[in-house]
Amino acid sequence: MLMRAATHGLIVMLWLLHWLPLPVLAVLGRGLGWLAWRAVPSRQDVALRNLALCMPELSPAQRMHIAREHFALLGRAVVERGLLWHASPARLKRLIHVEGDATLPEHAGQPVMWLVPHFVGLDIAGVAVQLFQSRPVVSMYQMQSNPVFEKAVLRGRLRFGNGRLFSRWDGARAVIRAVREGHHFFNLPDMDFGAKDAAFVPFFGVPAATLLAPSRMAKALGMRVQPVVTEVLPGGRGYRVRFLEPWSDFPTDDALADTLRMNRWIEDEARRMPAQYLWVHKRFKTRPKGASSVY
């Protein structure tokens, strides 16, 4: 009962906060991230370990700076969630600066798969693909253990009326059916879901369990693949969502080579804005047989 009340309180707080100007939300969010840096040392350790594995060329002080800034941006992502869930479409369109072709599904003549890596602005890209083009969108998400928060997440992410969400428990078949029915796939390709249906593909030179599904699904369904990256801009300047040029030579007949290419592209983007990649995720939790844990 206490947990339900606390969750309802959080949801109300996010609704109240969305009325504030973005520069104020940004300050509050960074403050929350500062608190999280001190309150959650286990995730601090994960972030620093990932950075040491992926960017060993940086000094410890440089990696520490990136990790601290990453937590500040994570705090912003939490506080500004209410903005994404409750602000008017007109306000969101003013805050989200789109670069590239956001309307690819409207003229591609085939299903589109957006490849959207886990940067802190990931949910902003989810809003952008619903507000800046008219075709229906499908994606997968991680179910919340708290049923009250689960309901709020689904309501917030689906409020524009042209999206569908399936949990990981629903499996890929539900997504495939939706694509065949005319939906376009918002795909999150860079988390560790274990060794099943995955291969150990280098990510920053470290073997990382990576799903081969993006290549295989795009091949099987004749999909056009378009990379998408979101950047949280400083202060109250909003957000940038870059819809990059669709890959002309993806997928190929070699799913492993395709997946390596995808990981290298994500590496390039993470190096471009290192504080914004999701370093608190245990990306290397699943290890090759006989390899010791890195966490």
Please state the length of the chain.
295
Q: How many angstroms separate the CA atoms of 93 and 116, rounded?
A: 19
pTM, two decimals, is 0.94
Per-residue pLDDT, 2:
66
Residue 276 gets which letter from DSSP?
A: G
Kindly report the three-state secondary structure assignment for every residue of 26-45.
HHHHHHHHHHHHHHCHHHHH
SS3 of residue 87 by DSSP? coil
Strands 239-243 and 224-232: antiparallel
**Per-residue pLDDT tens listing for the chain (295 residues):** 667 788 889 899 999 999 999 999 999 999 999 999 999 999 999 999 999 999 999 999 999 999 999 999 999 999 999 999 999 999 999 999 999 999 999 999 999 999 999 999 999 999 999 999 999 999 999 888 888 889 999 999 999 999 999 998 888 899 999 999 999 999 999 999 998 889 999 999 999 999 999 999 999 999 999 999 999 999 889 999 999 999 999 999 999 999 999 999 999 999 999 999 999 999 999 999 999 999 9
Per-residue pLDDT, 67:
98
On whether the CB atoms of residues 99 and 211 are closer than 8 A, the answer is no
How many helices (H) and strands (E) in the chain?
Answer: 12, 9
Per-residue pLDDT, 1:
66
Per-residue pLDDT, 192:
93
Dump pLDDT digits (tens) for 190-222.
999 998 889 999 999 999 999 999 999 999 999
